[in-house]
Structure 1
Amino acid sequence: MTVTDTAGGSLFGLAYGDALGKPTEFRRYDQITAEYGPGGPRELPEPALVTDDTQMALAVGWALHEASAPTPEVLEPLLRARFLAWAKSPENNRAPGMTCLNACANLAAGMPWQRATVAGSKGCGANMRVTPVGLVPDYDLDTLAGIAQLQAGLTHGHPTGLAAAELTALAVRLPRDGAALAELPGLLRERCAEQRTVYRGDWLGDLWQRPGVTSPEEFIARGWDECADVLDTLIAALRRPDSGGDVCRETGEGWIAEEALASALLAALRHADDPVAALGRAAATGGDSDSIACLAGAFHGAAAGMAIWPASWADRIEYADQLATLGAAWD
Structure 2
Amino acid sequence: MGGKATGALLGLAIGDALGKPTEFDDVEQIAWQWPDWRQLPLPPQALVTDDTQMTLALARGLRTALAGGPLTPPRLERAVREEFVDWWRSPQNNRAPGMTCLRSCQRLSTPERRWQTASDVGSKGCGANMRVAPIGLVRELTPDQAAGAAQLQSALTHGHPTALAASDLTAYAVRRLAEGLAPAELPATLRDHALANRTRYHASWLGDLADHAQDRSPEQFVARGWDDCLAVLDRLDAALAAPDVEADPCLATGEGWIAEEALATGLLCFLLLPDDPMAAVRRAAYSCGDSDSIACLTGAFAGAHLGAGAWPADWVERIEYRDELLELGTLWD
What TM-score does the superposition give when structure 2 sets the normalisation length?
0.97
Structure 1 residues 144, 96: closer, same or farther in 2, change over 3 A?
A: same
The whole-number CA distance in structure 2 between the counterparts of 1:136 and 1:180 is 20
The whole-number CA distance in structure 2 between the counterparts of 1:99 and 1:115 is 14
Deviation per CA, 1:110-147: give whole Å up to 9, x if none: 32110001110000000110000000110111110000
Partner residue, 2:314: 312
2:245/2:272 contact within 8 Å kept: no
The whole-number CA distance in structure 1 between the counterparts of 2:56 and 2:245 is 35
Partner residue, 1:150: 152
The whole-number CA distance in structure 2 between the counterparts of 1:295 and 1:181 is 14
The whole-number CA distance in structure 1 between the counterparts of 2:231 and 2:38 is 28
Q: Give the secondary structure class of the aligned counterpart of 1:105.
A: helix
What count of residue pairs does the alignment treat as equivalent? 329
Partner residue, 1:91: 92
2:26 pairs, out of 18, 25, 28, with 28
* Aligned-CA RMSD value: 1.1
Farther off after superposition, 215-224 or 243-252: 243-252
Q: Which runs of 5+ in 1 are unaligned?
A: none
Deviation per CA, 1:31-58: give whole Å up to 9, x if none: 1123222325543202110000000000
1:1-331 paired onto structure 2 within 5 Å:
4-39=2-37, 42-67=40-65, 68=68, 69-110=70-111, 111-210=113-212, 212-242=214-244, 244-331=246-333
Structure 1 residues 7, 236: closer, same or farther in 2, change over 3 A?
A: same
1:163/1:223 contact within 8 Å kept: yes
* Greater than 6 Å deviation, 4+ residue runs: none
Q: Give the secondary structure class of the aligned counterpart of 1:33.
A: helix
Deviation per CA, 1:48-84: give whole Å up to 9, x if none: 1000000000001011111123100111010110000
Q: Which runs of 5+ in 2 are unaligned?
A: none
Deviation per CA, 1:240-294: give whole Å up to 9, x if none: 1315111000000000000000000001111112110001100011100000001
The structure with the greater share of residues assigned to helix is 2
Identity of aligned residues (%): 56
What TM-score does the superposition give when structure 1 sets the normalisation length?
0.97
The whole-number CA distance in structure 2 between the counterparts of 1:40 and 1:30 is 15
Q: Give the secondary structure class of the aligned counterpart of 2:130.
A: coil
TM superposition shift of 1:212 = 3.6
The whole-number CA distance in structure 2 between the counterparts of 1:251 and 1:135 is 26
2:151/2:164 contact within 8 Å kept: yes
The whole-number CA distance in structure 2 between the counterparts of 1:212 and 1:173 is 32
The whole-number CA distance in structure 2 between the counterparts of 1:241 and 1:118 is 36
1:41/1:284 contact within 8 Å kept: no
